[in-house]
Each structure stands twice: as structure tokens, then as C-alpha cells.
A and B are shown apart, each in its own frame.
Chain A
Amino acid sequence: MLKNPYRLSDLLMTITVWFSAALVVGAFFWLLSDLALHGIAKLNWSCLVSAPENAGRDGGIGPILVSTLLILGVALLMTIPLGLGTAVYLSEYSSGALARSIRMSLDVLAGVPSIVFGLFGNALFCIWLGLGFSILSGGLTLACMMLPIFIRSTEAGLTAVATEWRHGAAALGLTQAAALWHVLLPAAAPAITAGLMLSIGRALAETAALIFTSGYVDRMPDSLSDSGRALSVHIYDLSMNVTGGDQSAYGAALVLIVLLVVINNVAASLADRFLSQRITTS
């Protein structure tokens, strides 16, 4: 095979692979350049810090950016500890019927349409728990949506860690908790980071679940119990509901993409640093 690398089947294979990759990258750049072309004129520093005016046609997106980050912050604060805990339980502690039913419910939850989460979050957090339309309600609802993705990918990462590592840790006299903290979680770091990024992506793109929980108010939030409009809700409203809001929608969408890239990189480097520290200091 090495003597004749340009056999027809190999050539076809190469072309197919290259074509697929080019198509994916092309689609992304098409989308990005379309957004940039329409949206760049709308963007400047004052637009990022000032409040929207005239239903979002004029003014900026300052309060909306703050609300978006707060909602995401609340969601991550809930998702990361709960998700890590559940994933560890699934991979390290249980293999019985309970684990099977947890896995099944997580897989079903991961496929539930977001509007269902929105109505659920509205009923549970806004009305029953009395949080009202608030950043807290929105963040908690998002956490419900992010948990299945995060848990399943973290669990997959933990399961993939070779059993020898666990034996090695035990042989060195590490407690189960220490082995988890110093060996298993750091070893599963790439999967955890990937799950985190997927969850953040889903959260930032979410519209339907947030209209009914964190709401529509575009004022600068004073606290987590204020209603605050997320960037994706703002884009949806501008493009679907506000006559003449398209320009601003493009601008906001461009900001959303940039925000996604920045947050993903920050999250990835934080997770890397935190988890690799475990291995070196232990």
C-alpha cells in the first residue's frame, strides 16, 4: 500500500474527506461573512455598552450582554458541580438499574425540544418556586438543558480512563475521593471540556426556553431576581417581531458568535489549567 499511495480507492477517499471538511468550513465562513457583511456597520464600542432604544432598532446591547452573561453564569454554577457529581456517580459508583434509568432519562432529556424546557421552567421556577421572570429562573432552566449533555460527555470521558489508573491510585493508598480528584478527573479533562463547550453553545443559542423564564425586559439588571433579555431572545425579537430591526439583529448575531468563541476559549483554558494542576501538585 505504501508503494502505491495513489490507488483509485485512496484517491477517492482523500477527495471525499477533503470535500467534506471544505464544505463544513465553507458553510461556517459563509454564515460568518454574511453576518459580518450585514452586521459590522452596526458595531462599535458604544453599541456594546449602551442600552437599546426604539425597540432595539437604535442604541446598543449593553444590558442584554450583561443579562446574557449572568444567565450563563448561573447556569454554569449549577451545571458544573451537579453534572460532575452525577457523572462520577454513573461511572465510578453504580452500574445497576438506577444508573441505567438515569442514563435513559438523560438521553431522553437531551432530545427534548427547548420550548418544553421553557414551559417547564416557567411553571417550576417562575411560578411554583416564586422566582418570577428572572435571570435566576432563566439560568436554572438552562442548567436543566445543559446537564444531560455535560453529564453524558463527562461520564464517557471518565469511563474511558483505563482501569490501571484506578488500580495504581489504590495501590498508592489514595482514597477513592483523592483518586478521583487527582487522577480520574484530570485524565478525563478533554471530555469534560468538550461537554462544557457543547453545553455553553446550547445555552447561548437558546431562545424558546428563555422567553418564558428570564423574559423580555431589556433594562440593565440590578440583581439576579430581575428579568433580563438574553442576546438570542433579542436577536429573535428583532428579526421576527420588530419592523425594521434586521440591521440590529445582524449586529447582535455577530456579537453572539464572537462571544461564543471568546467564552469557549476562556472555559477551555480555565478547565485545562485547573485540571492539569491537579496532576502536577498531587
Chain B
Amino acid sequence: MSEVGDSQKIWGWILALCMAAGLNSAALADAQKLVLTGSSTIAPLALEIGKHFEKLNPGVRVDVQSGGSTRGVIDARVGLADVGMASRALKQEERDLIAHRIAMDGIGIILHQKNPVKSLNDDQIRAIYTGKITNWQQLGGEDRKITVVNKAEGRSTLELFLHHFLLKNPQIRAHVVIGDNQQGIKTVVGNVGAIGYVSIGTAEYEEAHGMPIHLLPMAGVPATVANVRAGRFPLSRPLNLLSKGTPTGLSKRFIEFAQSAAVDDLVTAQYFVPLAR
């Protein structure tokens, strides 16, 4: 007896699940939905901009997915995303897309606070990353092995770093390969001999909040948010939204909103640098 009751219950559940899925996909078609995918650096910012955009435009939904700049390029190209996100300039072969800059980010070299080395020139950094210099003593520091922290393939910070220092990734002799900025900072904090590179906004925040790291100046320009905004800092990158062709409709309105002065406080809150207007 109870056997029948139980199996009925299970089938009821399965039926309910199917119906819920069916009904909901029908309801979804009514709402105006904008899908963004790409750079995990931009994703938290885009999420915040999206929430404000939703408030100003009732009935509109902005879905943000992360996964990396290259994914943003691919998804925008094949139409999986209405708008892509890339935390770098477009490459030559990606010029079929249009980039819309919404903010700036600078990349700074970080060392552990206990490391007495206070500046490095481009040649020295190149020598460290290619494994020609392996001890801080060779650079006027203490007798300590250098731990080279590099970014994982596909990260826009890696591409910007390689581009600036005229390096190719296989040349780099990395001891640690990391993904996100926070991971980079945590790796350097945990290793006095480490050298890494991360977003300046993030590093400035963590340094101010007691993380034992220090940012190196590049070519004599201190690594500060102010210098990135003024365009003085050599190692900086744009944060771009990508569209396939000239944006229209909802995408156009969203991109215009993301480029307006209305989002400056959101940009600053994520430790990025608002556009100079």
C-alpha cells in the first residue's frame, strides 16, 4: 500500500520539476535580458553597474558571468553574450569587435615589505622573470632566492606585462603561477623573496590595510591610482566592454550608462580608476 503512495509522490515531484522548468522558461521570454561575460577583473564592477542600471530601467535584467577576457571576446563574437568584458586592449585579430572603455587599471610590481629593494628598472625585471637573476643579492638586497610569481595563461595582466617587457610567456621562469590579483598579493605576503605583479588599485588598498607588501615605481613614476588616471604610469590597461558591431537597443543604453559619470563612484569603490573626462 505505502509502496504505491511513495512512488506516486516521486513521480509527482518529477512532474512538478518539469512543469516549473517549462513555465519559467516561458515567463523569461517577456523580460528584457542583457548578458555580459568575460574578464573576472571587470565582473564585480559590471555586476554593480548592472544593479544600478536595473534600478533605473525597471523590467530590465543584467546577467553578469565571469571567465576571463578571452572568453569575453569569444562570447561577444559568437553572440553568447550581448556585451563582452575584456580588461585589455583588443588585439589585431580581434578588431571585428568594438571596445568601449569604462575605466582604467594600472599594474604594479609588488615585493614583500621586508625586502629592502626599493626600485627595479625594466632590464632588471626582465632578467628576474627570465631567470638570469635568481638572488636578491645581485640587486643590492639580502642573500635570498627570488621567487618569481607569474600569472596564468589567458589573464590580461599577463598579456599586458609581457607586452610591456617585450617578453614571451615560454621565456618566463616562474616558480608560482597564479590567477587573480588577491591570490598574487597573498602569495607575495607569504614569501619574503617573492616578486609579483597585480592591479595597482588592489595593491594600494591592501598595502593601506596592513598587508606587508610594497609597490615599486616604474621608470621613476610612483605606482599610484592618481598616476594611472593621469595616464602617466607606463604599465596600465583599459577595462573595456565589447560589442559586435555598433551597439543597439539595450546594449547601447547599458554601454552608454557604463561610460557615464554616474558610475564613477562605483568604479572607485572597486579600486579602479574612473575615465578622465
Contacts and interface: CB of A to CB of B under 8 A. Distances in A.
Interface string A188-223: 000000000000000000000001100111110011
B48 A225 contact: no
A222 B205 CA distance: 36
A227 interface: yes
Given A55-B47, A281-B2, A216 B65 contact: yes
Contacts of B25: 223, 225
Interface stretch (B106-114, B175-183, B216-224, B254-262): B175-183
Interface string B196-220: 0001011001100100000000000
Given A216-B43, A223-B23, 12 more contacts: A55-B48, A77-B13, A77-B14, A127-B80, A216-B64, A217-B64, A217-B65, A223-B21, A224-B21, A225-B28, A240-B180, A243-B206
23 contacts: A55-B270, A77-B14, A77-B17, A133-B65, A211-B67, A215-B63, A216-B66, A219-B61, A222-B24, A223-B24, A223-B25, A224-B21, A225-B25, A226-B24, A237-B43, A237-B66, A241-B182, A242-B270, A243-B182, A243-B199, A243-B201, A244-B205, A277-B2
A81 B9 CA distance: 13
Contacts of B14: 77
Contacts of A224: 17, 20-21, 24
Contacts of B270: 55, 242-243
B7 to A, nearest CB: 9
Interface in A78-92: 81
B156 interface: no
Interface in B221-248: none
B147 interface: no
A241 B17 contact: no
Interface in A60-77: 74, 77
Given A55-B270, A77-B17, A215 B65 contact: yes
Given A54-B48, A227-B63, A240 B28 contact: no
A242 B21 contact: no
Nearest to A244: B205
B40 A241 contact: yes
A136 B24 CA distance: 11
Main secondary structure, interface of B, reads helix
Contacts of A127: 80
B58 to A, nearest CB: 14
Contacts, number: 92
B182 A239 contact: yes
Nearest to B204: A243
Interface of A: 54-56, 74, 77, 81, 127, 133, 136, 181, 211-212, 215-219, 222-227, 237, 239-245, 277, 281
- Most interface-central of B25, B28, B65 (chain A CB within 10 A): B65
Secondary structure dominating the interface of A = loop
B271 A223 contact: no
B27 A222 contact: yes
Contacts of A219: 61
A11 to B, nearest CB: 40
Nearest to A51: B51
A15 B73 CA distance: 59
Given A54-B269, A127-B80, A224-B20, A244 B209 contact: yes
A222 B59 CA distance: 13
Interface string B30-74: 000001000011011101100000000000010111110000000
B43 A241 contact: yes
A241 B47 contact: no
B276 interface: no
B44 A56 contact: yes
Contacts of B123: none
B166 interface: no
A223 B63 contact: no
